[in-house]
Structure 1
Amino acid sequence: MTARPRLRTIALALCSALLATTASVLPARAGTPAPVPTWEVRGPGDAPTAVVALDPADGHPTLAVRRDGRTVLEPSPVGLVTERADLSKGLSLIGRSERPVRERYTSTTGKSRVRVVRMTEARFRFRTATGARLDLVTRVAPDGVAYRYVLPRSQGDVLRETSAFTLPAGASALLGAYRSDNELPFRRYESAAAVPSGAYMMQSLFHTDGGWALIAESDVTGTYAGAHLTHSAGSATYGVSLADDAPVHTAGALTTPWRAVVTGDLATVTESTLVDDLAPASRIRDISWIRPGPALWTWLAGGKAAGQSLTAQEKYVDYAAERGWPYEVVDAGWYFEPDAWDVVDPDWQTDGWMPELVRYAAAKGVGIHVWLHYTLLTDPAEREKWLGTLEHWGVKGVKIDFMNSESQERMRWYDDVLRSTARHHLMVNFHGSTIPKGIQRTWPQVMSMEGVGGEEKRTNTAEQLASLPFTRNVIGSMDFTPGAFQRPERPDAGSDAGELGLTVLYESGIQNLSGTPESYDARPEARRFLEQLPARWEETRLLTGDPGRSAVLARRSPDHRWFIGGIFAGAARTADVPMRLGAGRWLVETLTDGPADLVRTAHTVRGGDTLQVPVRADGGFAALACRWYEGRTSCEGRA
């Protein structure tokens, strides 16, 4: 190619780029305000549209989300303020590029095993008058829109974000007040603008003109801090605040976490894997040692009184082995001195009962998970000592508790612990913690995280039970620990069928079943159902639901059976449940509340039929569905 054609090619490319960034700008009439330049980012298929705009008056950028011509988010502020620059205004666009994002990966936990990622990514390059740079990276997927900031050069510590989400008029809300352990309950508000002033969890759900919208974040590491929403009554805008309102310390270029809006109809939001899809790929090559599955967890049987001794724990191991559950979890107290909370050095346990319990359990085909207070793992040398010892004993996983912070310092601690547990082949369940935020894709040994007011709380309501499938559990695995039939204070105490349904309704890589052996033996139908729970799910479908009022989910096991769980807040009723399981005939065995025990009833239905299921007040049901054939009367069989 000669120099002249090459120059012509470069000139044409520059003209095309200029047209792409200015196509939405129309000349202003005399005496009218200058038009707002806007740029649309369209995703594949029927994805929503992100609309980035730059106000010509003061140079502040905004991002809006639309779907099918309707508004999901009004133009909402984006930007950062650092020690050296205000990157929320006075900006000019100096370039824009776009590329497709296509990925395929498998997940060890979650709503589905195989994930296919299709997104459009656009990068907007902004600059201030003094030369400070801010790149706004947006991604649009069929189930949502996300954006993050990239600072190509250090601008000092990040003081705050101006990121916010502005809801259209008439939007309603389902959200919970913020606390660093993410355990406060959700509440419905008919008006998002009328929500009281305060701090709220990021996983807030809104119903807008353009469909449902769940706020989330992804790829939060120690380079940044966790975040939550802040709101002033009377405003439709929800701002983003960093943990403890503390600066984020940086030393060089910075890429922030994703701010995301999971959006679509209710099924699209509930079944979404967008938060995982945005996260970095797995950092673990060999995942053969990572095996999810149900566990017998005995803490709610009486805490330390449940038996922190070899004799007591061997009985629990025996019971887990009889049920076919792959794990038993030994909670707090196993490494404490009797009648004290003084930590014993792990060397002491070399001659203690834990190594013997691990050997005993292994012979029965049961793996042991153990509880640890996070402070044991703050010092690098002590962390290596504890985790190395547990790996040497043959412990399969650790339940780490009481972090209770989303600060940058604590997120760095997560980074360190995740690397260490991966190296020592230990699966992880975080309690008193942040929520997953994509962590399970990057670190697949994370089986579950609390970040929820679970079964052990005494303040739950049926409304809370019906809120979680559409909020917290959309984000990632949730250790609610269902199955505590023995607890009279549970909100569905009048409905054993509802309690059983929670074991399917709530997804967790390690489903910690919190009932006592005696409570299961007294409910043989519940025990039979729990014995069939698979280790993981292949697919998830929302059958019906109304956030905060009802939820029915179906999850497909590897052997192609569908497990179904439903919960309903309010009066007793006959629930209409669409069988969105696929074409053909299905045998559906429902488990509902009877006069004395659960009642198992077989139904033959076609895919798409509506099944009527009786439920008690503040109760629910469980069900198992399999392909029907002549003569088949049961879906019995271990997945």
Structure 2
Amino acid sequence: MGVARRTSVAALCAGLVATLFTTGPARAEQDAHAWAVSGPERTTASPAPRARVSLDDTTGKLSLAVSRGGRTVIEPSPVGIVTEQADFSQDLRFLHRKDRMVDERYRTKSGKRLERRALMNETRLSFATPEGARLDLVVRASADGVAYRYVLPAAYGDVLGETSAFRLPSDANAWLGTYRVDNEGQFAPYTAASAPTGEYSDQALFETDGGYTLLAESDLTGTYSGARLAHDQGTGTYRIKLADDRVRTDGPLATPWRAMVTGDLTTVTRSTFTDDLARASKVADTTWVRPGTVLWTWLAGGRPAGQSLAAQKTYVDYAAERNWPYEAVDAGWYFKADAWDTTDPDWQANSWLPELVDHARAKGVGIIVWIHQRELDTPEERAQWLPTLERWGVKGVKIDFMDSEKQPMLQWYDAILKETAAHHLMVNFHGSTIPKGMQRTWPHVMTLEGVAGEEKRTNTAVHLTTLPFTRNVIGSMDFTPGAFQRVGLRPNSDAAEVGLAVTYESGFQMLAGTPESYDARPLARAFFEQIPAAWDDTRLLTGRPGQEAVLARRDGDRWFLGGVYAGAARTAEVPLSIGPGRWLVETIRDGADGLVQDRQVLRGGDTFTVDVVTNGGFAAIACPWKPGVTTCYR
């Protein structure tokens, strides 16, 4: 072998060794002052995102940028946290790096799909202040997202705030919801810089040349404080603002994940990234956790119906006829004048709820009950209510009016989640935070409001067509569709209202209509009788935030389709991207005199058309077709 050849081979080997030692399992790259980590690649058509952390030589400040396929997702953005005893936002020096791969398989009880795999590359970067205080910045990258969190290995006092922010190109399209403590702000379109000065929900969607990015948060517990986005008009910067001015800590701390779900719209809507980041289930036996359709009549009857045993029995009977597994009793059932006197030892004996539960059980229907958070805000109150409801046979609780993401309320969530699980009570939170990974850790949480839902009288069609790309990406959303009786109070058509039961995912799909409104629309009623509340798969067929959204969700060998549109009437074109073969597609749309149904046989991949009215939509069921198959309904 010649000298030149031996030299080139030696150089090649040395290069390979150097590559092995610098990339590691997390595929991280680094130079003297920057470190990068990329998500596992799945397809070349949809490249995985790449995070790059940089340390400024002069200021000692950290920043993080995200790209995808070499294109901008998030511009270099500040990273830092400040505590009573240490400032981790500047003057940092690098200590060391550790890489690993996270590969977890888990199964959920509800959501976009039941079987999940969390596959992420992780890099832990350690830094120190001049005084020797240590900060670990943990960065994870998957095929559909990037996230980071701060880990303080020692106690450095209470957290006074973060310098974390997200910088977007000024002209990036943005869909933002004004922040409210109940997370019920409406979503509207802006550009990153043109959005008015104010505070926005942290579930903000942006479109850059790197695709779409939904900002999010995961693994939020009572050890920290909820986040929102603060923005000054004229800039593309969105700062993390905590609900508390001071976050109490008493030892080492791992903050929630600051997450960026990113990719094309198909990737973003299908993503379970915020669940993947969260901690594993704390409920060992989940056999009692059963998602399902719920008949909920509050929007029609209000408190008088909630106070009437006779009315509730009628609703139970109607749910049983539809094979709906649950009926919800809202506010009023435990009110006697102003409220029950729970200090009276006979207060529980005065309730008619056990009689209703027995009536419902005989018909195969479970009862969900509404209860105000103030009735459960102390350990003593929870010790009264929760065992009693379990003993009566109630299946779940709808807890309302938390209206805060401050640390004390998050600590209450920690307590109530553990205790409702112990008493086999499924949960629907209203006036609440949003899931943020909660449904993986606590799988008995079937749904959360945290949305400007059907109850609102000012919703727009733009808002309705934005929710599938923002709030509902994060987790189950109790929008409560099906309120046909609210004509004039909702912005959409009857067919769109049917479609929302598919377009919007919820482990408890609370149908907000009345028996009379369903009987007047037998096609809608028959569709609702078919629909499940847990899905094997989810796909976006077509969509654009604020304009249209058509989602397909699979249950066994059937696909359920829901479409919602904003704007003028049109003939919508929908690709049937649900798999090869021939499919029978039964579509419900708006006709001149009410809902109508169409049937056609199509091949997977074909484009089918649906006539959509102004601010309208449609619903459909598709099943494998063969000669003799005439309907997908069972």
Q: TM exceeds 0.5?
A: yes
What amino acid does structure 2 have at the position aligned with 1:489?
G
What amino acid does structure 2 have at the position aligned with 1:368?
I
Counterpart Cα distance in 2 of 1:373 and 1:301: 20
1:41-190 alignment, distance < 5 Å: 41-45=37-41, 46-189=47-190
Counterpart Cα distance in 1 of 2:282 and 2:522: 42
State the SS of the aligned residue for 2:206.
Answer: strand
Cα deviation 1:194-220 (Å, max 9, x = unaligned): 211110000000001100000000000
2:609 pairs, out of 596, 605, 612, with: 612
Counterpart Cα distance in 2 of 1:227 and 1:371: 27
Structure 1 stretches lacking a partner, 5+ long: 1-11, 26-36
State the SS of the aligned residue for 1:555.
Answer: strand
In the TM superposition, what is the alpha-carbon distance from 1:352 to its structure 2 partner?
A: 2.4
What amino acid does structure 2 have at the position aligned with 1:427?
M
Give the aligned partner of residue 283 of structure 2: 284
What amino acid does structure 2 have at the position aligned with 1:533?
I
Q: Report the TM-score when normalising by structure 1.
A: 0.93
For the Cα contact (< 8 Å) 1:105–1:115, is it kept in 2? Answer: yes
Counterpart Cα distance in 2 of 1:320 and 1:567: 26
State the SS of the aligned residue for 1:624.
Answer: strand
Structure 1 position 595 matched with structure 2 position 602: no
Cα-Cα RMSD: 1.7
For the Cα contact (< 8 Å) 1:309–1:353, is it kept in 2? Answer: no
For the Cα contact (< 8 Å) 1:337–1:344, is it kept in 2? Answer: no
> Measured at CA, do residues 53 and 527 of structure 1 come closer, stay the same or move farther in structure 2, by a change above 3 Å?
same
Give the aligned partner of residue 5 of structure 2: none
In the TM superposition, what is the alpha-carbon distance from 1:490 to its structure 2 partner?
A: 3.4
> Measured at CA, do residues 582 and 288 of structure 1 come closer, stay the same or move farther in structure 2, by a change above 3 Å?
same
For the Cα contact (< 8 Å) 2:122–2:139, is it kept in 1? Answer: yes
> Measured at CA, do residues 336 and 88 of structure 1 come closer, stay the same or move farther in structure 2, by a change above 3 Å?
same
State the SS of the aligned residue for 1:302.
Answer: helix
Give the aligned partner of residue 517 of structure 2: 519
For the Cα contact (< 8 Å) 2:28–2:37, is it kept in 1? Answer: no
State the SS of the aligned residue for 1:488.
Answer: coil
State the SS of the aligned residue for 1:600.
Answer: strand
> Measured at CA, do residues 249 and 266 of structure 1 come closer, stay the same or move farther in structure 2, by a change above 3 Å?
same
State the SS of the aligned residue for 1:289.
Answer: coil
Counterpart Cα distance in 1 of 2:603 and 2:425: 44
What amino acid does structure 2 have at the position aligned with 1:283?
K
In the TM superposition, what is the alpha-carbon distance from 1:176 to its structure 2 partner?
A: 1.0
For the Cα contact (< 8 Å) 2:505–2:533, is it kept in 1? Answer: no
Give the aligned partner of residue 229 of structure 2: 229
After the TM superposition, which of the residue ranges 40-49 and 519-528 deviates more from structure 2? 40-49
State the SS of the aligned residue for 1:314.
Answer: helix
In the TM superposition, what is the alpha-carbon distance from 1:306 to its structure 2 partner?
A: 2.7
Q: Report the TM-score when normalising by structure 2.
A: 0.94
State the SS of the aligned residue for 2:347.
Answer: helix
In the TM superposition, what is the alpha-carbon distance from 1:603 to its structure 2 partner?
A: 1.3
State the SS of the aligned residue for 2:598.
Answer: strand
For the Cα contact (< 8 Å) 1:335–1:349, is it kept in 2? Answer: no
Counterpart Cα distance in 2 of 1:333 and 1:21: 57
Cα deviation 1:413-472 (Å, max 9, x = unaligned): 000000100000000000000000000000000000000011011010111110100000
Counterpart Cα distance in 1 of 2:139 and 2:272: 17
For the Cα contact (< 8 Å) 2:306–2:329, is it kept in 1? Answer: no
Give the aligned partner of residue 552 of structure 1: 550
Cα deviation 1:106-156 (Å, max 9, x = unaligned): 111111100011100000000011101110000000000000000011111
Structure 1 position 570 matched with structure 2 position 571: no
> Measured at CA, do residues 349 and 606 of structure 1 come closer, stay the same or move farther in structure 2, by a change above 3 Å?
same
Cα deviation 1:317-339 (Å, max 9, x = unaligned): 0000000000000000100113x
For the Cα contact (< 8 Å) 1:465–1:548, is it kept in 2? Answer: yes
State the SS of the aligned residue for 1:511.
Answer: strand
State the SS of the aligned residue for 2:619.
Answer: strand
In the TM superposition, what is the alpha-carbon distance from 1:304 to its structure 2 partner?
A: 1.3
State the SS of the aligned residue for 2:327.
Answer: strand
In the TM superposition, what is the alpha-carbon distance from 1:595 to its structure 2 partner?
A: 2.0
Give the aligned partner of residue 358 of structure 2: 359
State the SS of the aligned residue for 1:520.
Answer: helix
Counterpart Cα distance in 2 of 1:588 and 1:529: 13
In the TM superposition, what is the alpha-carbon distance from 1:305 to its structure 2 partner?
A: 2.6
State the SS of the aligned residue for 1:467.
Answer: helix
Counterpart Cα distance in 1 of 2:341 and 2:383: 16
> Measured at CA, do residues 21 and 397 of structure 1 come closer, stay the same or move farther in structure 2, by a change above 3 Å?
closer
In the TM superposition, what is the alpha-carbon distance from 1:236 to its structure 2 partner?
A: 1.1
Q: Percent identity?
A: 61
After the TM superposition, which of the residue ranges 628-637 and 562-571 deviates more from structure 2? 628-637
Give the aligned partner of residue 502 of structure 2: 504
In the TM superposition, what is the alpha-carbon distance from 1:16 to its structure 2 partner?
A: 4.9
1:215-364 alignment, distance < 5 Å: 215-243=215-243, 245-338=244-337, 340-341=338-339, 347-364=346-363
Counterpart Cα distance in 2 of 1:287 and 1:350: 31
2:36 pairs, out of 15, 36, 40, with: 40
Counterpart Cα distance in 2 of 1:342 and 1:100: 54
State the SS of the aligned residue for 1:312.
Answer: helix
Give the aligned partner of residue 395 of structure 2: 396
For the Cα contact (< 8 Å) 1:21–1:96, is it kept in 2? Answer: no
Counterpart Cα distance in 1 of 2:625 and 2:475: 32
Counterpart Cα distance in 1 of 2:609 and 2:129: 61
State the SS of the aligned residue for 1:110.
Answer: coil
Counterpart Cα distance in 2 of 1:246 and 1:96: 31
What amino acid does structure 1 have at the position aligned with 2:535?
W
Give the aligned partner of residue 7 of structure 1: none
> Measured at CA, do residues 85 and 318 of structure 1 come closer, stay the same or move farther in structure 2, by a change above 3 Å?
same
In the TM superposition, what is the alpha-carbon distance from 1:379 to its structure 2 partner?
A: 1.2
Cα deviation 1:65-111 (Å, max 9, x = unaligned): 01101010011111101111110110011000110000100111111
Give the aligned partner of residue 444 of structure 1: 443
Counterpart Cα distance in 2 of 1:433 and 1:42: 34
Counterpart Cα distance in 1 of 2:507 and 2:28: 45
Counterpart Cα distance in 1 of 2:312 and 2:145: 46
Counterpart Cα distance in 2 of 1:275 and 1:490: 33
In the TM superposition, what is the alpha-carbon distance from 1:186 to its structure 2 partner?
A: 0.5
In the TM superposition, what is the alpha-carbon distance from 1:596 to its structure 2 partner?
A: 1.9
Give the aligned partner of residue 406 of structure 1: 405
In the TM superposition, what is the alpha-carbon distance from 1:347 to its structure 2 partner?
A: 4.6
For the Cα contact (< 8 Å) 1:491–1:618, is it kept in 2? Answer: no
> Measured at CA, do residues 536 and 16 of structure 1 come closer, stay the same or move farther in structure 2, by a change above 3 Å?
closer
Counterpart Cα distance in 2 of 1:471 and 1:430: 19
Structure 1 position 583 matched with structure 2 position 584: no
Counterpart Cα distance in 2 of 1:225 and 1:140: 24
In the TM superposition, what is the alpha-carbon distance from 1:43 to its structure 2 partner?
A: 1.6
> Measured at CA, do residues 148 and 343 of structure 1 come closer, stay the same or move farther in structure 2, by a change above 3 Å?
farther
Counterpart Cα distance in 2 of 1:593 and 1:17: 60
Aligned residues: 609
> Measured at CA, do residues 611 and 22 of structure 1 come closer, stay the same or move farther in structure 2, by a change above 3 Å?
closer
What amino acid does structure 2 have at the position aligned with 1:274?
F
What amino acid does structure 1 have at the position aligned with 2:305?
A
